[in-house]
């Protein structure tokens, strides 16, 4: 199982460092008991170095919220995979709904990012999900299949280097969440498409009060948590729900 905390653009480097320390204090002993649950936090790029120093010898992994598709060059505003690796990053998020819909990153661009990340031996959390309009039009599976086919094109993927995060766009930051049954149905579709060995995690307004009902579903292997990961105790409660599966 996998639990990711996506801090998005919410914390300064100092605030990120303090949150990382709080999370480490809460999680450290429990992680030694449950090596089957990997925990990773995804701070802003500017906070990676500070958070890396906090987590350096711990069992909590460090992730980045995006990655460039080239090692270096004239790509203003992008962040090289080499820089991320030097800071201790092991996981990268690619294709988050906010990157797709706010910054208009399409499947072709996301595929380039993913291929570069895998080439550099970074592990990828690749996000897929439909809008409310697409769901109401009955196009959920069609949209997700396209995102998988085009985003993973020509990639040498396996259960160790790729995690899929299902994020219904209409449930990101809205307070709404897919019912456990709705989420489970999509997770099964993704596993049928890729193979049961791949972890498929849910992202979309995951909170302590709905984590248990979601993780009880057969095909849900964990979470990519947004707002609730900014509070160490809430993040730990979600982890505890996973420990009961």
Assess whether pLDDT exceeds 90 at residue 204: no
Structural domains of the chain, with CATH: 2-243 (3.20.20.70)
What residue has token string 């790729």? Answer: 162
92-103 mean pLDDT: 96
Round to whole Å and give the CA distance between 6 and 241: 18
Of 44, 96, 98, 105, the catalytic one is 96
More confident residue, 174 or 121: 121
- At 216, give phi and psi (nearest 5°): -70, -20
How confident is the model at residue 173, as a pLDDT? 65
Percent of the chain at pLDDT > 70 equals 98
Has 101 been annotated as catalytic? no
Between 27-36, 64-73, 188-197, the lowest mean confidence (pLDDT) is in 27-36
DSSP state of 228: G
Question: For the chain, what is the mean pLDDT?
Answer: 96
Q: At what angle do helices 107-119 and 140-151 cross, to 10 degrees?
A: 50
Alpha-carbon distance of 191 to 200, in angstroms, equals 7
Lowest-pLDDT range of 24-33, 36-45, 156-165: 24-33
Mean per-residue pLDDT, 175-189: 89
Tokens standing for residue 206: 């995951």
Cβ(4)–Cβ(201) under 8 Å? yes
pLDDT tens, position by position, 223-236: 999 999 999 999 99
Three-class secondary structure of residue 51 per DSSP: helix
- Residues 108-145: tens digit of each pLDDT: 999 999 999 999 999 999 999 999 889 889 999 999 99
pLDDT exceeds cutoff 90 at 91: yes
Query: Is 187 labeled as catalytic in the residue annotation?
Result: no
Encoded tokens for 70: 């080239």
Choice among 44, 105, 130, 167 that is catalytic: 167
pLDDT greater at residue 211 or residue 135: 211
Mode of pairing for the β-strands spanning 60-64 and 91-94: parallel
Percent of the chain with pLDDT over 90: 90
Asked if residue 44 has pLDDT above 80, the reply is: yes
Among 1-5, 20-24, 70-74, 201-205, where is mean pLDDT lowest? 201-205
Question: Which pLDDT belongs to residue 105?
Answer: 98
pLDDT value at 61 more than 90: yes
């Amino acid at each position: 199982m996998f639990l990711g905390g996506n801090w998005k653009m919410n914390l300064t480097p100092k605030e990120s460092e303090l949150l990382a320390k709080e999370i480490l204090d809460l999680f450290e002993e429990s992680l030694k008991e449950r090596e089957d649950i990997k925990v990773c936090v995804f701070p802003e790029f500017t906070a990676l170095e500070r958070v890396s120093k906090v987590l350096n010898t711990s069992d909590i992994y460090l992730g980045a919220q995006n990655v460039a598709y080239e090692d270096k060059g004239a790509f203003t505003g992008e962040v090289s995979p080499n820089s991320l690796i030097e800071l201790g990053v092991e996981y990268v998020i690619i294709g988050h709904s906010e990157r797709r819909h706010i910054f208009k990153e399409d499947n072709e661009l996301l595929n380039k990012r993913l291929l570069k990340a895998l080439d550099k031996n970074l592990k990828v959390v690749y996000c897929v999900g439909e809008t409310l309009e697409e769901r109401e039009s009955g196009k959920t599976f069609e949209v997700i299949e396209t995102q998988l086919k085009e985003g993973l094109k020509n990639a040498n993927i396996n259960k160790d280097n790729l995690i899929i995060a299902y994020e219904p766009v209409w449930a990101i930051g809205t307070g709404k969440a897919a019912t456990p049954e709705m989420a489970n149905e999509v997770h099964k579709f993704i596993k049928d498409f890729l193979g049961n060995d791949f972890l498929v995690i849910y992202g979309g307004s995951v909170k302590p009060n709905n984590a248990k009902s979601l993780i009880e579903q057969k095909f849900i292997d964990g979470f990519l948590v947004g707002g609730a990961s900014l509070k160490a105790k809430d993040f730990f409660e979600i982890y505890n729900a996973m420990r009961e599966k």
